[in-house]
Amino acid sequence: MNEKKPAGMSEAMQTEAIAEDNASLDTLSSLEIITRINENDQTVAQAVQRVLPQIAEAVELLVEALGNGGRLFYTGAGTSGRLGVVDASECPPTFGTPHEMVQGIIAGGRVALFHAREGCEDKDWMGARDLVRRGLRSGDVVCGLSTSGRTPYVLGALRKAREVGAKTIAVYCNPEGSVGQLADVAIVPVTGPEVVAGSTRMKAGTAEKMVLNMLSTATMVRLGRVSGNMMTNMKISCEKLRYRATRIIMQRLGVDEDEAWRLLAESKDDLAAIPGLQ
């Protein structure tokens, strides 16, 4: 048994605080519970809005790095790690990026995507090791995701990034979090106590997801992987995307559906090969 008190736990963390106005949650009806959750969720967008300048700064950093051949690594534990993996995995089909351009790394590896491996987040050396295994180098960007702002795994990853000369971004929800000290850009949407005390997969996790949506989408728009507001670089891998591509061709080129299907077939489902579409 580890009887040593975790470092920094004596400091107040807003995401771990107990909201007194939700203290009677277990006495409420189903509708009342979800209403309370919904009311709390409405404050998340406002928290993210307050850090838009920092998000924009991070986008500028990413545009420069990725535009010069660098890569983006999301790194985190638990919910934060899973959110990073999800955002990274969406970039190739949505924006036609190489799979190595945006990568998600979760403490505990692939197994942790499906089964909680909470102990791995306490090992800072694992955060560094996992980046080394991906060939981290100067010119890359590491984005550390930690709702608490003090996850050892993320701290280890950010330290390694600075050691090799990579740029760093930190996304966390506690102003007291120490990960910001290792970041070139710190993004801190303060979401406060959760409806269920300490369950940061809720408001804090939602805030992280919103920030990641902005980081990857705005970066890809700036890199020219979106035309107008259409996904003209997406990879077509199913009928849903083939139909979506057809509508994009019709809209961008002003042709009818039959001509759009013909152009798509002629390009062998490669939107980038269709003249005038980009």
Q: What is the DSSP letter of 191?
A: -
List the structure tokens of 193: 């106590």
Q: Are residues 195 and 108 in the same domain?
A: yes
Q: Are residues 172 and 93 in the same domain?
A: yes
- pLDDT digit string, tens, across residues 134-158: 999 999 999 999 999 999 999 999 9
The residue among 80, 87, 90, 100 whose CA lies nearest residue 149 is 80
pLDDT at 245 over 80: yes
pTM confidence score: 0.90
Q: Are residues 51 and 183 in the same domain?
A: yes
Please name the residues in contact with 2: beta carbons below 8 A apart, sequence gap of 6 or more. none
Range of the domain at 273: 227-278
pLDDT at 4 over 70: no
Categorize the per-residue pLDDT at 17 as very low, low, confident or very high, splitting at 50, 70 and 90.
low
| pLDDT at residue 138, as a whole number | 96
Known catalytic membership, residue 32: no
Contact 268, 248 (CB under 8 A): no
Query: Which is catalytic among the residues 16, 57, 64, 90?
Result: 90
Q: Are residues 133 and 182 in the same domain?
A: yes
Classify residue 183: in a domain, yes or no. yes
More confident residue, 48 or 193: 48
Q: Are residues 218 and 244 in the same domain?
A: no
| pLDDT at residue 3, as a whole number | 41
Classify residue 9: in a domain, yes or no. no
Please tell me the least confidently modeled range out of 29-33, 51-55, 227-231: 227-231
Known catalytic membership, residue 121: yes
Q: Are residues 49 and 72 in the same domain?
A: yes
Residue with token string 């306490």: 122
d(Cα 267, Cα 272) in Å, to the nearest integer?
8
C-alpha dihedral (197, 4, 126, 113), degrees to nearest 10? -30
Classify residue 252: in a domain, yes or no. yes
Q: Are residues 255 and 160 in the same domain?
A: no
Categorize the per-residue pLDDT at 9 as very low, low, confident or very high, splitting at 50, 70 and 90.
very low
Structural domain count of the chain:
2
| CATH code for position 75 | 3.40.50.10490
> Across 14-86, where does the E strand assignment appear?
72-76
| pLDDT at residue 195, as a whole number | 85
